[in-house]
Chains A and B, each alone.
Chain A
Amino acid sequence: MPDLNTFRAETRAWLEQNCPPSMRTAQPDDEAITGGTREKYKNPESKIWLDRMAAKGWTAPTWPKEYGGAALSEPEARVLAEEMQALNCRPPIRGMGFSMLGPTLLEYGTEEQKRTHLPKIVTGEIRWCQGYSEPGSGSDLASLSTRAVLQGEHFLVNGHKIWTSGAHFSDWIFCLVRTDPTAKKHEGISFLLIDMSDPGVRPQPIRLISGYSVFCETFFDNVQVPAKNLVGEMNKGWTIAKRLLEHERKGIGGIGERAKERSEQTPEQLAKKYVGETDGRIAAPALRDAIARFNIDQRAFGLTRQRTAEEAKAGAPPGPASAMFKYYATELNKRRYELMLDSAGTEMLGWEGEGFEPDNLRTTRDWLRAKANTIEGGTSEIQLNIIAKRVLGLPD
């Protein structure tokens, strides 16, 4: 293996040279980059930063070079992440193409599919969204009914997806469709890549309790999809669907750490500010105790992520602990927001306008957004079902 220290030094030098100054500051929400043809690049330096990183393959550092990645080893990728963190570099881009579809295509895609789609994810040219859930199929995802019928060189797709995050800003959608309605529910599903520029694809934004519209209902009316956009075999899409969900849950499982990087507000700081201090300590003992309880759990969970990462590095197969990441991280994240609201009182109950600090207004909205964490990507109850069944071996 090439010397990691050399790699670290080179990486740091490159980042220092190439990361624009404004990309080394805390990232406001409206400057987060998700790519695609509708990306506005509000801060022009974010486009420069993205292009430079993409040219090195560092937006998807572990992907093979032939698909636009940099073919870094896991240790090298960790070094890159550490150096970016050390210099406070913003992530150049994020999205479902990177966290979910990419790894799935690398495993199941045809050579042509990989060459066609992966490089455009790396450069941020194309943004992807996820067409899994339907009005009648949420937790019971395999009951989905969006139909795809193979007619010669094309599938004809008709149906109705819902909760499609970012559909109104996306270019392509990866979809679960029913290709055999007579088979058992897990055995008639296929995994399709669909170009959303087809006029038969209509995303309609839905307003959330946070006031934001981050997701859509997505309708499919006689959408023609080339047969070559089928990933894996016909009617064998459920295996691929589950693998992608593993990637999704792994991503969501890191949510507390991302929040820590981004948010300057912690429950203990807010409590000191809005409840007050006695001898340097939060003046309300019950609140202090609740915050300590949360921080202890957060720390113990962070150590668990570290432990499983070390075990994986030492070559152990993924242990049972990884099954709990999605569940534990999202429940913790909700607790964190509740404690911030407990700490700030009415200062954090504003909706908009005068009389509230902008940071607090943002946190209030984020508090509402966080409620989705234990629903999206499989609810907490479903995660507990999975642990009970797969890890503990409890009977159905």
Chain B
Amino acid sequence: MTLTLSSEARLVQDTALEFFRDKSPITALRKLRDTQDADGFSRPLWREMAELGWTGFLVPEEWGGSGFGHVGLGLVMEAAGRTLAATPLLSTSLIGASALVLAGSGMQKDTHLPGLVAGDQIFALALEEGPHHAPTRIATAAKKHGGGYRLSGKKTFVLDGHVADTLIVAARTSGGANDRSGITLFLVPASAPGLSRTRTIMVDSRNAAIVTLKDVEVADEAALGPIDGGSDVLEAVLDRARAGLAAEMLGSAAECFERTVQYLKDRKQFGVAIGSFQALKHRAAQMFCELEVTHSAVLACLSGLDEGANDVPALASLAKTKANDTFFLVGNEGVQMHGGIGMTDEHEIGFFTKRARVALATFGNSAFHRDRYAALNGY
């Protein structure tokens, strides 16, 4: 694994940092929240991101992308994380693109990828059915019916679900409630009869929805990847999502930490800067260490994906666990070290604390990933 950035990657990083700082600071998220924006993200900004090529980083040139790779997209997401920007990068550029590239038929790629790259088409993964990440606990049924399937079930916490044009639905074509086999992925247009969506307003002010499917009919060609063999695809897609999300979380945690350290220098009590108190210094130094090791874990996973490393699943669990724990720590310490002002809605530090909780529940909390890491390593 290469753990240093190429000059091209550095360029992407600089562009992305500037982009989000200028065009999507936290005030933008606050505005989306306070105006109860119907989309929950800015479409004009999304189009600009597509023009910068970010939506095509995981898509081969054949379909209009650049195939620049996971490190590049991770750097963009890290920059987005710094300003808590609400964008469909995760749902569409990462998950949608990965699923199509890894498992899509020629026809599916031709149909969907150009629109995805252009920023015209939004995707969402309809996976979870309960309050905890459980990628094999799928009850949503896909029953064979003529030249296709009928889908029925209820999906929760579907990121960008209410704005997606196409949903990637994980459904059960065979097997029992928690079997790894028997799961199939389907591409379902959001407009399909029988599909309804309810937007859920989350604590982090980011987009999610409940998706209900009632005898939704799809053709055989809607299956994405092998029938009954969806778990393999799903796992590969989820590991990519975890890596990218971990990068975003790293950016958020780093920003939250830097703001907190600045506050330790600015705020005076007892006639001195509060950063001179050792009780706070040591905790700040420990957070610094955790950020450094998280940075390495995230970069190793992204780079492992680009280089085709054989232990990507373990690296993804490593990266997600570290990102979870570090963002959790820094988010909570951020509020604590700001004192009363940190509790106010007017101050921005609380946005990080709230985002941390939602991000760490996304695609596996630390207990989930430690258990997976242990299993992957034979204990």
Chain A residues near B (Cβ < 8 Å):
268, 271-272, 280-282, 288-289, 291-293, 295-297, 299-301, 303-304, 306-307, 310-311, 314, 320-321, 324, 327-328, 381, 383-385, 387-389, 391-396
- Inter-chain contacts of B272 with A (CB < 8 A): 395
Subset of 24 A-B contacts with CB under 8 Å: A272-B379, A289-B370, A291-B379, A295-B373, A297-B293, A300-B293, A301-B296, A303-B3, A303-B300, A306-B3, A307-B295, A307-B296, A324-B288, A324-B292, A328-B289, A385-B278, A385-B281, A385-B282, A391-B288, A392-B275, A393-B265, A395-B272, A395-B275, A396-B276
Do A300 and B318 touch across chains, with their CB atoms under 8 A apart? yes
- Inter-chain contacts of B2 with A (CB < 8 A): 310
- Bound-state Cα–Cα, A221 to B322, Å: 54
- Inter-chain contacts of A295 with B (CB < 8 A): 373-374, 377
Chain B 280-304, CB within 8 Å of chain A: the 1/0 string?
A: 0110111011001111110110000
Task: Name the one of A282, A289, A304 contacting B296, with C-beta atoms under 8 angstroms.
Answer: A304
- Which among B272, B285, B299 has the greatest number of chain A C-beta atoms within 10 A? B285
What's the minimum C-beta distance from A342 to chain B, rounded to whole angstroms? 14
Do B297 and A300 touch across chains, with their CB atoms under 8 A apart? yes
- Nearest CB to that of B322 among chain A residues? A300
What's the minimum C-beta distance from A391 to chain B, rounded to whole angstroms? 6
Do B293 and A293 touch across chains, with their CB atoms under 8 A apart? no
- Bound-state Cα–Cα, A396 to B265, Å: 11
Do B377 and A394 touch across chains, with their CB atoms under 8 A apart? no
Q: Within 8 Å of chain A (Cβ to Cβ): is B11?
A: no
- Inter-chain contacts of B265 with A (CB < 8 A): 393-395
Do B285 and A321 touch across chains, with their CB atoms under 8 A apart? no
Do B285 and A301 touch across chains, with their CB atoms under 8 A apart? no
Do A296 and B379 touch across chains, with their CB atoms under 8 A apart? no
- Bound-state Cα–Cα, A280 to B376, Å: 11
Task: Name the one of A293, A304, A385 contacting B370, with C-beta atoms under 8 angstroms.
Answer: A293
Do B293 and A387 touch across chains, with their CB atoms under 8 A apart? no
Q: Within 8 Å of chain A (Cβ to Cβ): is B107?
A: no
Q: How many residues of B contact A (CB 8 A)?
A: 40
- Bound-state Cα–Cα, A306 to B292, Å: 12
- Inter-chain contacts of A328 with B (CB < 8 A): 289, 293
Chain B residues near A (Cβ < 8 Å):
1-4, 261, 264-265, 272-273, 275-276, 278, 281-282, 284-286, 288-289, 292-297, 299-300, 317-318, 321-322, 367, 370-371, 373-375, 377-379
A271 with B379, Cβ < 8 A, contacts A307-B299, A310-B4 known: yes
Do A384 and B286 touch across chains, with their CB atoms under 8 A apart? yes
Task: Name the one of B284, B371, B374 contacting A388, with C-beta atoms under 8 angstroms.
Answer: B284
- Nearest CB to that of A393 among chain B residues? B265
A394 with B300, Cβ < 8 A, contacts A296-B318, A300-B318 known: no
- Inter-chain contacts of A272 with B (CB < 8 A): 379
- Bound-state Cα–Cα, A394 to B294, Å: 22
Do A282 and B371 touch across chains, with their CB atoms under 8 A apart? no
What's the minimum C-beta distance from A255 to chain B, rounded to whole angstroms? 16
Task: Name the one of A301, A381, A394 contacting B261, with C-beta atoms under 8 angstroms.
Answer: A394
- Bound-state Cα–Cα, A314 to B9, Å: 15
- Inter-chain contacts of A288 with B (CB < 8 A): 371, 374, 379
Task: Name the one of A293, A300, A385, A396 contacting B294, with C-beta atoms under 8 angstroms.
Answer: A300
- Inter-chain contacts of B293 with A (CB < 8 A): 297, 300-301, 303-304, 328
Do A392 and B284 touch across chains, with their CB atoms under 8 A apart? yes
What's the minimum C-beta distance from B162 to chain A, rounded to whole angstroms? 35
Do B374 and A392 touch across chains, with their CB atoms under 8 A apart? no
- Which among B261, B292, B300 has the greatest number of chain A C-beta atoms within 10 A? B292
- Inter-chain contacts of B375 with A (CB < 8 A): 281
What's the minimum C-beta distance from A301 to chain B, rounded to whole angstroms? 5
- Inter-chain contacts of B379 with A (CB < 8 A): 268, 271-272, 281-282, 288, 291-292
- Inter-chain contacts of A384 with B (CB < 8 A): 281-282, 285-286
- Bound-state Cα–Cα, A62 to B288, Å: 32
10 extra interface residue pairs, beta carbon distance < 8 Å, beyond A292-B371, A394-B264: A281-B375, A282-B374, A293-B370, A301-B293, A304-B296, A324-B288, A327-B289, A385-B282, A389-B281, A392-B284
Do B318 and A394 touch across chains, with their CB atoms under 8 A apart? no
Do B322 and A296 touch across chains, with their CB atoms under 8 A apart? yes
What's the minimum C-beta distance from B286 to chain A, rounded to whole angstroms? 7
- Inter-chain contacts of A314 with B (CB < 8 A): 4
- Nearest CB to that of B378 among chain A residues? A280
A292 with B292, Cβ < 8 A, contacts A307-B4, A388-B285, A394-B261 known: no
What's the minimum C-beta distance from B191 to chain A, rounded to whole angstroms? 43
- Inter-chain contacts of A393 with B (CB < 8 A): 261, 265
- Inter-chain contacts of A281 with B (CB < 8 A): 374-375, 379
Do B276 and A300 touch across chains, with their CB atoms under 8 A apart? no
What's the minimum C-beta distance from A389 to chain B, rounded to whole angstroms? 8
- Inter-chain contacts of A293 with B (CB < 8 A): 321, 370
- Inter-chain contacts of A310 with B (CB < 8 A): 2-4
- Bound-state Cα–Cα, A396 to B278, Å: 9
- Inter-chain contacts of A280 with B (CB < 8 A): 378
- Nearest CB to that of B287 among chain A residues? A392
Do A299 and B276 touch across chains, with their CB atoms under 8 A apart? no
Do A299 and B288 touch across chains, with their CB atoms under 8 A apart? no
What's the minimum C-beta distance from A25 to chain B, rounded to whole angstroms? 26
- Inter-chain contacts of B278 with A (CB < 8 A): 385
Do A324 and B289 touch across chains, with their CB atoms under 8 A apart? yes
- Inter-chain contacts of A320 with B (CB < 8 A): 288, 292
A289 with B367, Cβ < 8 A, contacts A307-B3, A395-B275 known: yes
- Bound-state Cα–Cα, A178 to B144, Å: 88
- Nearest CB to that of B272 among chain A residues? A395
- Inter-chain contacts of B273 with A (CB < 8 A): 394-395
Task: Name the one of B281, B292, B322, B374 contacting A394, with C-beta atoms under 8 angstroms.
Answer: B281
- Inter-chain contacts of A300 with B (CB < 8 A): 293-294, 296-297, 318, 322
- Inter-chain contacts of B371 with A (CB < 8 A): 288-289, 292
- Bound-state Cα–Cα, A392 to B296, Å: 19
What's the minimum C-beta distance from B205 to chain A, rounded to whole angstroms? 30
What's the minimum C-beta distance from A297 to chain B, rounded to whole angstroms? 7
What's the minimum C-beta distance from A300 to chain B, rounded to whole angstroms? 4
What's the minimum C-beta distance from B272 to chain A, rounded to whole angstroms? 7
- Which among A289, A295, A388 has the greatest number of chain B C-beta atoms within 10 A? A388
Do A394 and B4 touch across chains, with their CB atoms under 8 A apart? no
- Nearest CB to that of B314 among chain A residues? A299
- Inter-chain contacts of B367 with A (CB < 8 A): 289
What's the minimum C-beta distance from A104 to chain B, rounded to whole angstroms? 26
